[in-house]
Structure 1
């Protein structure tokens, strides 16, 4: 083997097809690639005829040997056609979605009871409100009394 950096040129003789030969389909050049393709197609046809079963999807490695039922490896179709959609089928909600719905319902129920005054917090709020109303009414009466007293004083001074 030589130690030179230059690669040697191929020694075989190259054969080129003429454009007329290409058009007519007759060429001096051997068609090995086409022959391989035709052989593969024939093998496919023969294998399909032999096995009338539905072909399974090819799996990598040992996935085809070992069947695993892992709920986390659910492969969902990316797009569904309108004719394939099942309207009657109900989808199961995830745990987070269920908890979120339950939380909203509980909040709505609590607010309804709050409006009706049935919760402890609502009772305390109503008691505070009643006390505040009484204080405001007393303050309003006091102001009215003071106003009436001022008017009486003005009336006496004017006389």
Structure 2
């Protein structure tokens, strides 16, 4: 009878060989992997590594025979910094081009603004000159009033 969704682990059914059985070679589970086979496997893996460097990548099925121009199938390559081609020109997207043009136009406008050649700059300069005139007149009036008060105090003392 099962104990729910998952059955119990088979830990109780494991059979381990004793050291005597292993030495005698009468183990319940015979060894299939030997030292000679390990060396052969190592030699084969070294040969495969050498051949992988020389051979181009083979594709499975009909992909090697039929060339498909599907941009969705192309896997993006991760370029390392040393492999990057600095002379290659990068084509900008429409949004990137528009953003760059917008920044350049803003810089050009700000340069003209500083020189006072734009309509808004002219209006700002006119407003600034009017404010300076008003402040100068207000300062002159205060000086006159101050001088008049001092004169009245001087006359009152005499």
Q: Report the TM-score range of the alignment, normalised by the length of the smaller protein.
A: 0.5 to 0.7
Q: Which residue of 2 aligns with 1:58?
A: 60
Unaligned runs of 5+ in 1: 1-17, 22-26, 35-40
TM-score normalised according to structure 1 size: 0.57
Change (3 A) 1:89 1:152: same
Aligned runs of 1:31-70 on 2, under 5 Å? 54-58=56-60, 65=66, 67-70=68-71
Q: Verify the 8 A CA contact 1:58 1:64 in the aligned structure 2.
A: no
How many correspondences in the alignment? 120
Kindly provide the CA deviation profile for residues 95-136 of structure 1, in whole angstroms up to 9, marking residues without a partner as x. Answer: 222222211111111111001111111111111111111111
Q: CA deviation at 1:56?
A: 4.2
Unaligned runs of 5+ in 2: 1-21, 38-43
Q: Verify the 8 A CA contact 2:58 2:64 in the aligned structure 1.
A: no
Moved more, 92-101 or 120-129: 92-101
Q: CA deviation at 1:54?
A: 4.3
Q: Which residue of 1 aligns with 2:18?
A: none
Aligned runs of 1:16-95 on 2, under 5 Å? 54-58=56-60, 65=66, 67-70=68-71, 74-80=74-80, 82=82, 84-95=83-94
Q: Which residue of 1 aligns with 2:151?
A: 152
**The residue matched to 2:139 in structure 1 has which SS?**
helix
Q: Verify the 8 A CA contact 1:117 1:123 in the aligned structure 2.
A: yes
**The residue matched to 1:99 in structure 2 has which SS?**
helix
Kindly provide the CA deviation profile for residues 28-68 of structure 1, in whole angstroms up to 9, marking residues without a partner as x. Answer: x8xxxx9xxxxxx9xxx9xx9xxxx8454337x98975623
Change (3 A) 1:110 1:148: same
Distance in 1 (CA, whole Å) between partners of 2:56 and 2:127 is: 76
TM-score normalised according to structure 2 size: 0.57
Distance in 1 (CA, whole Å) between partners of 2:88 and 2:153 is: 84
Tell me whether 1:111 sits opposite 2:113 in the alignment.
no
